[in-house]
Structure 1
Amino acid sequence: MSFPRQLARTHRFSLGVPHAFQISEDGRCVAFLRGRDGVDTATCLWVHETEGDTARVVADPRELGADDENLPPEERARRERLRESGGGIVAYSVDTAFSRAVFSLSGRLFYVDLSAGGSTPAELPATGPVVDPRISPGGDRVAYVAGGALRVIDVDAGEGGHGDRAVAEPDGPDVTWGLADFVAAEEMGRHRGFWWSPDGTSLLAARVDESGVARWHVDDPAAPEQEPTSLRYPAAGTDNPDVRLAVLPIAGGGPVWVEWDRRSLPYVPRAGWKRVGEDTPTVVFTAQSRDQRTLTVFDADPATGRVGEVRTDTDDVWVEIPSGVPAYTGSGALVWVARDPGTGERRVYVGDEPVSPTDVYVRSVLDVDADRILYSGSPAGRPGDVSLWYVDLATGNSGAVNIPGHGCSSASDADVHSGLRSGWLRDDTLLLQHRSMDFPGVRTLVFRDVSVESKRQRSEIESFAQTPDLPETLRVETWRAGEREIPTALVLPSWYRKGLRRLPVLMAPYGGPHAQRVLNARGAYLTAQWYAEQGFAVLIADGRGTPGISVEWEQAVHLDLAGPVLEDQVAALEDAAGRHPDLVDTERVGIHGWSFGGYLAALAVLRRPDVFHAAVAGAPVIDWKLYDTHYTERYLGTPQEHPEAYEGSSLLADAAKLERPLMMIHGLSDDNVVFAHTQRMSSALLAAGRRHTVLPLSGVTHMASDPVVAENLMLLQVEFLKDGLSRH
């Protein structure tokens, strides 16, 4: 099997990798999702016994008649927002006792006993099609969404059956309960729309009214017999949906509306519940202004809906939505991530006190367990490493999580670590996922009877992912390039030796916000290594706007998504040429990328044809007025307020400048970066008399998943780039 085919069949080597972990309160069991091998898309639900180091399947979708072709539209949209390309069981929830789990398959609802020797999964007679089922903390009920209504069903049937009933129903054709709206799921990282109270007596739910949002249609000309897909898309400068929150008592009664100034703070990035000891649960949520310069944490009385302001953060540019917070310590103190007024960088706070070091770039709070806080971050000056850090408020201890001899990295803060979930040091259980340049894939380790500084017992949850069909040792060199010290990686062919002819350069950036390519993990360079084997020196640079360095670095793209990102790609190329003048040929430079990387590729050949000689732009954003509100307005403001920012970042006016080969690839069914971007660019190029290539992909959304299509796309890109560079 060729590497491109293998890459597609394994879903970029993600199939067979354990993920979506949940740890029991006693630390003895870890639930997770994983296929049975590296090409199995029918993901199963497993339970790992930490003491016996064994894993067992508790639910196999094949045995339950799963059909991933028969999904509710809401579930298909939810998976697209999550970039979930697998099938089978893609999400599940467990009760507090870790005795039951629930999940949906093909719109049907199932529950399963998680105990050893438990029963086979059983279907509940839900009003389908079921979307996003969640079991109650007590394990006796399941809440789910069907037809825009939020419903609850009893797990154990009584005299009246399972008592499936609606607790909130839509009061209009464009109203839904319990689902995340488009921008919340796509841009804010909130993929849920309802949350059980800790005592299981009520639900906090989002009501979304999209009636004011513009209706767009995504069409596939290859299937003229099908009606176009209709969706509500909030493009920059247009109306967003109206999002409200309400507490819904399970025993009945009307909703208790949570009221805040939604006109000033319309976005709801986070929501959930807080409970300290035996106190009555309290609603907690965050709300953000449309210009994203204000972010407020609220709490609310679930009986009255009355809100109180807990904390408000402001920024003259934008306030980043922190991951993993708000959270609370055992005493009820707020755990938050905010900018330090002295350094300007983000730190972890407990109340008003910062508790993380000033020299750590904080990425996410992973877990708060009583007085212990776990978070991920990068040591100063090392954005390619993602390590784990802890704070113990009771003892005053803090630092990088260090487990000597854990068999992965020699330094506790080196490489890329992730995967910790709720349960950190709960009854002394720690789950760690580790990626490195030293071994392929990801290792998942579970430690029992562990303190922060020592270990006693270790088990491993095996990955079934395939080994890439590439040279065993990747030829990757990383450094910080130029005056701005841009994180840069150079990937060379395994066969290249000093003295051979200089190699053409293929730049492979993403280059935009919220994505980082230069990491100390083999998986970050697999595709780049394959392109290198085809005869390129592949150069990857994380310029301004990307995460991992500083707030100032991220905010450098404010009101200009074109200039800084393109300047940094050129600077990285010039630095590489200065370091390796006998290796890289700057007279033959190609560039390719997808999504923001596709925008950057097209931008490069249009505005710097003196540097870039051929480009492949996959699913490129061409006109930012066609992209969504929350993402675009964070960086460019609204088109009404800053028309010059949109004009300067749009590529349509540059069409007449094209003098280099440009191929644009775009899925016709893409509902994120819609095909209109490429279509309008093609029309502008045609009007200017500029030759170009467009490759439309029928039935494909934002990424091609069919193995044959994905393989041929890579081969066609190589052919196009080689041809374009040879003619230069």
Structure 2
Amino acid sequence: MKLKIIALAVFLTATNLLTAQNKEITLEEIWSGTFRQERLESLQSLKNGTEYIVQNYDRSEKAMKVDVYSYKTGDKVRTLINSKNIDGLPYFQAYQLSEDESKALLSTDMESIYRRSTRGIYYVYNLETGKLDQVSEEKIQEPTFSPDASKVAYVFENNIYVKNIASGKVTQITTDGKINKIINGITDWVYEEEFAFVQAYEWNKTGDKIAYLRFDETQVPEFSMDMYGTYGEQLYPSQYVFKYPKAGEKNSEISLHIYNLQTEKTSEVDFKNDYEYLPRIKWTNNENLLSVQALNRHQNNLDLIIVNAEENSSNIILNETDPAYIDITDNLTFLNDNSFIWTSEKDGWNHIYHYDKNGKLLDQVTRGQWEVTDYYGFDPKTGRIYFQSTENGSINRDIFSIRANGKNKAQLTQKRGTNSADFSADFTYFINTYTSSTTPYEFTLHDARNGKLVREIKDNSALLKQLEPYNFSKKEISSININGNELNMWIIKPANFDPNKKYPLLMYQYSGPGSQEVSNSFFNTNDYWYQLLAQQGYIIACIDGRGTGFKGSEFKKVTQKELGKYELEDQVAAAKKLGDRDYIDSERIGIWGWSFGGFMASNAIFQANDTFSMAIAVAPVTSWRFYDTIYTERYMTTPQENPTGYDENSPITHVNGLKGDFLLIHGGGDDNVHVQNTMQMVEALIQANKQFDWAIYPDKNHGIYGGNTRLHLYTKMTNFIKENL
């Protein structure tokens, strides 16, 4: 009897251990943040290069702080700002130091406008005296200190103001700003979304001039969205109206102006050529010389212009053209002698170039069949440039330094995977963020001269331990030969994978120009969802086809004027090739995607219904005629010039081809990819008498989140997959 009891105990222990090692993941865990990675707080290097600052909330004191830490030791050195010690400001949300680090802008009551823009209440806090001054009684946008921290410029209701901190005097620089008509000093919707910046004004080096962009939106068509609110909040829907230039429609008329604070006069810059876009302005190290990047509407002809503010003259010092398009970056860096660093794809790969102040090429700094993926800066003490690249494979990233003449390149990171760097102000140190397909974020401090490890900062070993009971499947990264190209691919199989069985396949893709979904990096939130699906017997795969990034400009730009054509060919061919594998059921292949990926998933189920039996499209573009000018025309030119390119690759054109199961989802408050896209396709599907499933999330933007929204969305998609694939 005793032996039987012992045997039973051993059996139960083994069973419990096996169960513990095969714990099933739930959607509630995924969307409650159970698997959230430890990250390094957003930090900023102080000018001394040996210390950095981090914003922390002290729960015990109920105070917001900005604390100073030593790079070398990681020890807290002192507290720079403590809301407990500031009369009249018990809390702040964010901070911004002046260039001389004597003052800080503190923000409260912040609210989002679009993807990058915000408005809020701001205060100037004097770090030396403890004095606090409110910048404005109103919510303002994009406040910045003058270089000597004596003034603050900001935008309120589309006009630019400058406040003298000592006297409190406010000077209104522009007066014609009006919502949905004239914008001064901040960008319009399409610039913010597609050129990725909001602040459209800049102080010069000596703080006596401000250059700014003026947007005349008067002729730009309006778009409106009905917002329904929560039950009980409002009886009637409200309407949100904003200017949105769709492909082929009129953009804002843009002009460049320079305000002289000494004379209190404004001059408009007169260019020698007509330009559709002015996507970047930046003062050089000469207080009277302003650089301007200017583009034609097709975005395939870029001029770098130097404006002399004293003479009100302009001179083109660099011109670049491309058969397809030119990407705008923030990499332009002026050195002490006003020579400059520039990045370009002109040799077929994105590389770094050094030009003199007149635009004469001095050196191509980097070269090879790999891409510079980030530019970190130039150290004037050593003459070295720091950058990130794909030199060790397009799915990997490493950090390098090199002299401005292109010699003595040094690799500063050694672990294979994705490395990214944050350098101290004087380039003494860098904090490396590392991840791979098997390693969540690790943060380490390195000597910038040689990459030598100084200290370990933080890792996610606790997360790896937390994941052990789930017995997650490995994300297998490889490549697949499709249409003559080696395409990067990852695949996730069930943990109990049996090569003698046949499994349904779900393909995920984004496919947008220059994007990347296959990288040597750890799980994102969707990856945990894929693990859930794998636990339920699905294989999930992702392939980056033609048009995606980091394999040279030819690979990326082959889709020009035909968005969706080659991308779809690659996804279909990949699905067929995977379907030929013995363990994949070729009759049960599904595809899904969000935004551009939803556009692709729709095209896949409509145009390749012999390959895909199921598709989910979230927030899809259903016709590029509905999307904005800057993004769409960069890749497609205008619909007037390229009607067949637009229509032949539009899902709406091919709704008659729907055969199989289709789920269509959109947010009703999507200011980016308008719900109009889905409504137009819904009507086309109805008139084609095609059955499908669909859902609208009221008032939700392009990200479709908030409260239980993501949990509801992914529950709906999971159930749809289980029922139909």
TM-score by length of 1: 0.84
Give deviations 1:300-319, integer Å, cap 9, x for gaps. Answer: 11223321112010012212
- Give, as a single letter, the amino acid of the residue that structure 1 aligns with 2:324: V
Are positions 1:271 and 2:294 aligned together?
Answer: no
> Residue 18 of structure 1: CA displacement?
3.8
> Contact conserved, 1:704 with 1:710, CA < 8 A, in 2?
yes
> Residue 487 of structure 1: CA displacement?
0.8
> Contact conserved, 1:376 with 1:387, CA < 8 A, in 2?
yes
> Residue 676 of structure 1: CA displacement?
0.2
Q: 2:266 aligns with which of 245, 255, 260?
A: 255
> Contact conserved, 1:61 with 1:105, CA < 8 A, in 2?
no
- Give, as a single letter, the amino acid of the residue that structure 2 aligns with 1:650: S
Distance of 2:686 and 2:645 partners within structure 1: 25
Are positions 1:400 and 2:411 aligned together?
Answer: yes
Distance of 1:592 and 1:43 partners within structure 2: 42
Distance of 1:367 and 1:444 partners within structure 2: 20
Give deviations 1:334-393, integer Å, cap 9, x for gaps. Answer: 21112344xx2222111222111313212232212323222222126x211122222223
Distance of 1:511 and 1:306 partners within structure 2: 43
SS at match of 2:432: strand
> Contact conserved, 1:10 with 1:466, CA < 8 A, in 2?
no
1:630-645 to 2 correspondences below 5 Å: 630-645=630-645
Quickly say closer, same or farther: Cα 1:358–1:556, change in 2 above 3 A: same
Are positions 1:445 and 2:444 aligned together?
Answer: yes
Distance of 1:164 and 1:628 partners within structure 2: 37
Are positions 1:626 and 2:626 aligned together?
Answer: yes
Q: 2:388 aligns with which of 371, 376, 381?
A: 376
Quickly say closer, same or farther: Cα 1:44–1:626, change in 2 above 3 A: farther
Residue 305 (structure 2) aligns with: 298
Quickly say closer, same or farther: Cα 1:11–1:218, change in 2 above 3 A: farther
Residue 692 (structure 1) aligns with: 692
Distance of 1:35 and 1:298 partners within structure 2: 45
Distance of 1:191 and 1:616 partners within structure 2: 33
- Give, as a single letter, the amino acid of the residue that structure 2 aligns with 1:327: T
1:641-652 to 2 correspondences below 5 Å: 641-652=641-652
> Contact conserved, 1:363 with 1:376, CA < 8 A, in 2?
yes
> Residue 466 of structure 1: CA displacement?
7.5
> Residue 26 of structure 1: CA displacement?
1.2
Residue 662 (structure 1) aligns with: 662
Quickly say closer, same or farther: Cα 1:692–1:203, change in 2 above 3 A: same
> Contact conserved, 2:667 with 2:699, CA < 8 A, in 1?
yes
> Contact conserved, 2:104 with 2:124, CA < 8 A, in 1?
yes
> Contact conserved, 1:663 with 1:693, CA < 8 A, in 2?
yes
Q: 1:366 aligns with which of 376, 382, 385?
A: 376
> Residue 606 of structure 1: CA displacement?
0.5
> Residue 328 of structure 1: CA displacement?
2.1
> Residue 3 of structure 1: CA displacement?
5.3
> Contact conserved, 2:247 with 2:629, CA < 8 A, in 1?
yes
> Residue 123 of structure 1: CA displacement?
5.2
Quickly say closer, same or farther: Cα 1:427–1:696, change in 2 above 3 A: closer
Residue 53 (structure 1) aligns with: 74
Give deviations 1:547-597, integer Å, cap 9, x for gaps. Answer: 11110111111111122111111233344345x522x22221111111001
> Contact conserved, 1:3 with 1:468, CA < 8 A, in 2?
no
Distance of 1:613 and 1:95 partners within structure 2: 58
Residue 455 (structure 1) aligns with: 452
Distance of 1:678 and 1:573 partners within structure 2: 26
Q: 1:143 aligns with which of 141, 153, 156?
A: 153
Distance of 1:325 and 1:436 partners within structure 2: 26
> Contact conserved, 2:102 with 2:126, CA < 8 A, in 1?
yes
Identity of aligned residues (%): 23
Distance of 2:579 and 2:302 partners within structure 1: 44
- Give, as a single letter, the amino acid of the residue that structure 2 aligns with 1:376: Q
Are positions 1:166 and 2:172 aligned together?
Answer: yes
Distance of 1:640 and 1:103 partners within structure 2: 48
Larger radius of gyration: 2
Residue 209 (structure 2) aligns with: 202
> Contact conserved, 2:212 with 2:258, CA < 8 A, in 1?
yes
- Give, as a single letter, the amino acid of the residue that structure 1 aligns with 2:379: D
Quickly say closer, same or farther: Cα 1:224–1:490, change in 2 above 3 A: farther
Distance of 2:214 and 2:345 partners within structure 1: 32
Give deviations 1:408-428, integer Å, cap 9, x for gaps. Answer: xx44xx3112243573xx161
Residue 357 (structure 1) aligns with: 367
Give deviations 1:593-630, integer Å, cap 9, x for gaps. Answer: 11001111111100001111111100000011010001
Quickly say closer, same or farther: Cα 1:170–1:330, change in 2 above 3 A: same
Residue 257 (structure 2) aligns with: 246
SS at match of 2:371: strand
SS at match of 2:708: helix
Are positions 1:124 and 2:134 aligned together?
Answer: yes
> Contact conserved, 2:228 with 2:238, CA < 8 A, in 1?
no
Distance of 2:145 and 2:385 partners within structure 1: 26
SS at match of 1:283: strand
Quickly say closer, same or farther: Cα 1:611–1:58, change in 2 above 3 A: farther
Quickly say closer, same or farther: Cα 1:340–1:635, change in 2 above 3 A: closer
Residue 70 (structure 1) aligns with: none
Distance of 2:457 and 2:80 partners within structure 1: 18
Distance of 1:607 and 1:65 partners within structure 2: 65
SS at match of 2:318: strand
Distance of 2:599 and 2:85 partners within structure 1: 44
Distance of 1:324 and 1:236 partners within structure 2: 25
Quickly say closer, same or farther: Cα 1:244–1:7, change in 2 above 3 A: farther
> Residue 190 of structure 1: CA displacement?
2.4
SS at match of 1:234: coil
- Give, as a single letter, the amino acid of the residue that structure 1 aligns with 2:454: Q
> Residue 465 of structure 1: CA displacement?
11
Distance of 1:536 and 1:681 partners within structure 2: 29
Q: Which runs of 4+ in 1 moved over 6 A?
A: 34-37, 59-67, 461-469
> Contact conserved, 1:66 with 1:88, CA < 8 A, in 2?
no
Distance of 2:306 and 2:465 partners within structure 1: 48
TM-score by length of 2: 0.85
Deviation larger for 619-628 or 25-34: 25-34
> Contact conserved, 2:377 with 2:386, CA < 8 A, in 1?
yes
Residue 73 (structure 1) aligns with: none
Residue 53 (structure 2) aligns with: 31
1:260-659 to 2 correspondences below 5 Å: 260-261=271-272, 263=274, 265-275=275-285, 279-321=286-328, 323-341=329-347, 344-351=348-355, 352=361, 353-370=363-380, 371-379=383-391, 382-393=393-404, 396-402=407-413, 410-411=414-415, 414-420=416-422, 423=425, 426=426, 428-440=428-440, 442-447=441-446, 450-455=447-452, 457-458=454-455, 460=457, 470=467, 471=470, 474-482=473-481, 483-493=484-494, 495-498=495-498, 501-524=501-524, 525-578=527-580, 580-582=581-583, 584-659=584-659
Quickly say closer, same or farther: Cα 1:293–1:130, change in 2 above 3 A: same
- Give, as a single letter, the amino acid of the residue that structure 2 aligns with 1:30: Y
> Contact conserved, 1:137 with 1:196, CA < 8 A, in 2?
yes
Structure 2, unaligned runs of 5 or more: 1-23, 110-119, 356-360
> Contact conserved, 2:272 with 2:314, CA < 8 A, in 1?
no
SS at match of 1:514: coil
- Give, as a single letter, the amino acid of the residue that structure 2 aligns with 1:379: E
Distance of 2:222 and 2:83 partners within structure 1: 35
> Residue 658 of structure 1: CA displacement?
1.0
Distance of 1:591 and 1:58 partners within structure 2: 51
Residue 181 (structure 1) aligns with: 188
Distance of 1:274 and 1:664 partners within structure 2: 49
> Residue 256 of structure 1: CA displacement?
2.6
SS at match of 2:568: helix
> Residue 255 of structure 1: CA displacement?
1.5
Structure 1, unaligned runs of 5 or more: 68-86, 403-409
Distance of 2:587 and 2:374 partners within structure 1: 42
Distance of 2:624 and 2:684 partners within structure 1: 16
